[in-house]
Amino acid sequence: MRDFKRARYAAAVLAAAATGIALGAGPAAADVPIGRAVTGKMTYYTDKGYGACGTPIDATSQDLVAVSAAWWTSGNPNNDPLCKGISVEVSYNGKSIRVPVKDKCPSCDRNHIDLSQTAFQKLAPLDKGVVNGITWKFVR
């Protein structure tokens, strides 16, 4: 009987660990590098509807940014710390803008940000499409 209880306990621990790993798809909130410069690339998108933060977005007319899924830490992105006043400050070619995080970019790696069309245009012409060598950082 004792071995059965140990096996059940071990199975519960493994299930909890697996669940924690599945739910924690990104770094802990404390791991988001507020203020640390990241060198990477930017693209733009034109989605309309609801962003990952659960608020209406229009990437054709609002300044906003979608960041890599690797930065999101909550199983429910609406409650994620990124949706609570975090912005991204982006610099390229002598220009800088600050845009709020409102969405998740599933195809972006950790160094890649996806700006709304209007935000992208403030830094580069739309026909560039992909711009490498930008600097960005999370800010409050």
C-alpha R_g of the chain: 19
Give pLDDT, residue 61: 98
Instruction: List the chain domain ranges.
Output: 27-139
Q: How many helices (H) and strands (E) does the chain have?
A: 2, 8
Mean of pLDDT values over 62-86:
93
Q: Which superfamily, per CATH, for 27-139?
A: RlpA-like domain (2.40.40.10)
C-alpha–C-alpha distance, residues 84 and 101, integer Å: 9
C-alpha–C-alpha distance, residues 8 and 106, integer Å: 36
Task: Answer yes or no: pTM beyond 0.85.
Answer: no
Rounded to the nearest integer, the mean pLDDT of the chain is: 83
pLDDT digits (tens, 9 = 90+) for 11-45: 333 333 333 333 334 444 446 689 999 999 999 99
C-alpha–C-alpha distance, residues 55 and 7, integer Å: 45
Check residue 94 and report its DSSP letter: T
Number of Cα atoms under 13 Å in the Cβ half of residue 13 = 6
Mean of pLDDT values over 89-106:
98
